[in-house]
Structures are given as C-alpha cells and as structure tokens.
Structure 1
C-alpha cells in the first residue's frame, strides 16, 4: 500500500513536482558521478532509475552524448520527458522497479543513476532491488543512489513512503547483498531545494 500511495501522489502532482525540481542545480552531483564513471570500459550506457521529469537523463544524453535508458513507474513523467526533451534522445520507459528483472539487461550498463528514487522502497525490499540493479552492470560499473539521511521509515503528510538511510543502515544493507560491490564511497550533502534543511546521504557502489 505504501508504494501505491506514493505513486498515486506523483501521478496526481506530476506538474507541481516537475516545477519544484526542474531548477535544482545538480552540477556537483553530476560531477561526482562523471568522475566515477568507468571510462576504460568504452562508451558509457546509463540506466536512470526513477527518472522523474527526465532532467538528469537529458543532461547525460545531450551534454555528454551518453546512451541513456530512463525508467519511471509514473507514465505522466515519461510522457512529459518525451514531449519536453524529445522521444529519441533517451530510451524512455514506463517501468516499475519490480519489472527490472524482466528486462534483458544483464551486464548491459556501465552505470546506474538512482537520484532520490530508491528512498521510496521499504528497507526490507532494498537488498533484492539493489541486487537486481547491480546485475545489470558490467564489471567495474557503478551505481549512484541518494537517500534522505536517517534511520527510520515513515509516511509524509502527502502519503508518500520514505525509507531513510544513514551510515549504519547502509552498511547493513550492503552486507546483505548477493552481488557484493567491490567498494563503495559515501558522503553527506545538504538539501538543494529552497527552504529545505533535510540532510542527504549519497553512495556510489562499484561492482
């Protein structure tokens, strides 16, 4: 029920959410991600998980000429992205996290970008999802994810479910994975949204 109510919120508030987030300066996060990319593997192929408005996918595809597949469970986000950024520049797909295993993506991507998207998944379900995502990466591929910093699960005033992650919970999560990453890096950042004080935890996993 928690994930259904979360999706319902984004479907009912698609335009408002896009308006609130379209002007956020993501440059520092893009830079961290790009610096970690495995360029020795050749041309980069990126999977944007929970792409929202498509802002980040468009950046990687247009500014960096990378091949990008972008997925989101909200078809209205995908509709917006195709209309606003172009249907051909990115492979836009309406797809839920549960359907990732059904795609022919084993070891297909060099990197995964999961910015503020996995935080809507219950902690107990994160190991299975992360294993599914890591299985789509080539050897030496990376996965970037960001979570609100904390140690609890909660439902906000809009009915959205959040799973907060801190350093201890992340270590517990990683230790439970089948696809154990070779290494990982974490760092904390401030909220980039105006008038928001929420601290964030960022992680890059390398296979």
Structure 2
C-alpha cells in the first residue's frame, strides 16, 4: 500500500493538499479537550500530504504525525513542520497519549479484520474524554482499487462499529461530498467519537 503513495506522491499531494476540510476539523476540534497547560496534543494518523497537520499547528496545537508512506512522511515534515514518523496502523505505538487523533481518509486502508485491534490501539492513546475523527468512503465491504485496499462504510455500519468498540461515547456520524475536482459522485462517511 505505501508503494502506491510513494509512486504517486506528486499527483496525490497536488490533488489533496488544498482540499478544504475545515468543516470536519471544526467538528472534531469542538470536542477535543484542552489541556490545562495549553499544549493540547493532536496526532495526525495517516497524515498524507500534511494538510491537516499544518492547519492544527497553525491553530496552536502540539501536532505529531505518522504515515505508512515515506513520501507522505517527508511531505508532512516539509509542509507542516511537525514531527512525523513512518508507521502503519497495524504497528501503531506511541510514548504518550493525545487529546485528539485525526485519521482522515486513512483507516479506510485497514482491513475489516484488523480494524477492531487498530481502533483499540488508537483509543489506548487517547486521554479520557479525548476525541477521534475518522472517515471512510461510502459503500460496503472491502475492495481493491489501483493496488490499494479499501474498507468502505455506511453511516449505519460505521456508527455500529464504533459503538461495538466499547471505548467511546455515542458517535457523531455524517456524510459529506468529496471536495476534490472531478470527485463529486464520491461520498465520505465521517465520525467523531470521544473516549469514555
């Protein structure tokens, strides 16, 4: 999977870096608990081109990131000026917890079989009351496109999955249109949850 993003880095960065995700970021940030010392930590999990890591840093958050692709890690470090590591979700481990974890269009590359374990690892790295944002393409089941695995969700399946995890409060789930040019027919299923 990282091979696709390494090989298509220039195209991927050009088509995603300027996408306006402010509506989803605002919904997520509205439930991220602030730290008393002001150093509220956000992890950009599957950071891609670094678009959202930069937005969070500019807003004053303490941001760290990871991505499975070495090209995307380099793009995040260069564009957002935040620490970024190369890592897959299946291997995720961090030394400290976060007030928020942002997994925009990234968990969709994890298999259905591995998603519960991955979500549990992410939840273990959230403070109590910490927030997780995630998004999947609307659909059902798993598929492969351009050598990439996709796990698709509906609002119903994503909401039920997050409730079954047992780690979170009632999920806030909604649909949004793809904002990239030529992708008007694609719909995203988004969710924000808080660690109980």
| TM-score, structure 1 as length reference | 0.87
**Greater per-residue helix proportion:** 1
Deviation of residue 46 (structure 1)?
0.3
From 55, 58, 67, give the equivalent of 1:72.
67
SS in 2 for 1:15: helix
User: Separation in 1 of the partners of 2:167 and 2:87?
Assistant: 25
SS in 2 for 1:11: helix
Q: Which residue of 1 aligns with 2:131?
A: 142
Q: Are residues 1:51 and 2:42 paired?
A: no
Cα contact 2:135–2:191 (8 A) shared by 1:
yes
SS in 2 for 1:183: coil
SS in 1 for 2:121: helix
Cα contact 1:109–1:141 (8 A) shared by 2:
yes
From 22, 26, 34, give the equivalent of 2:29.
34
Q: Which residue of 2 aligns with 1:164?
A: 152
Consecutive unaligned residues in structure 1, runs of 5 or more? 1-5
Deviation of residue 198 (structure 1)?
0.8
User: Separation in 1 of the partners of 2:23 and 2:181?
Assistant: 16
Q: 1:33 to 1:84 in 2, by over 3 A?
A: same
Q: Give 1:1-207 correspondences, 5 Å limit.
A: 6-39=1-34, 43-61=39-57, 63-86=58-81, 90-101=82-93, 103-105=94-96, 108-156=97-145, 158-177=146-165, 179-196=166-183, 197-207=185-195
User: Separation in 1 of the partners of 2:79 and 2:187?
Assistant: 30
Q: Which residue of 2 aligns with 1:3?
A: none
Cα contact 2:17–2:50 (8 A) shared by 1:
no
SS in 1 for 2:167: coil
Equivalent residue pairs, number: 193
Consecutive unaligned residues in structure 2, runs of 5 or more? none
SS in 2 for 1:122: coil
Deviation of residue 124 (structure 1)?
1.3
SS in 2 for 1:124: coil
Report Cα offsets for 1:48-70 as digits up to 9, x if no partner.
10001111101101x21110110
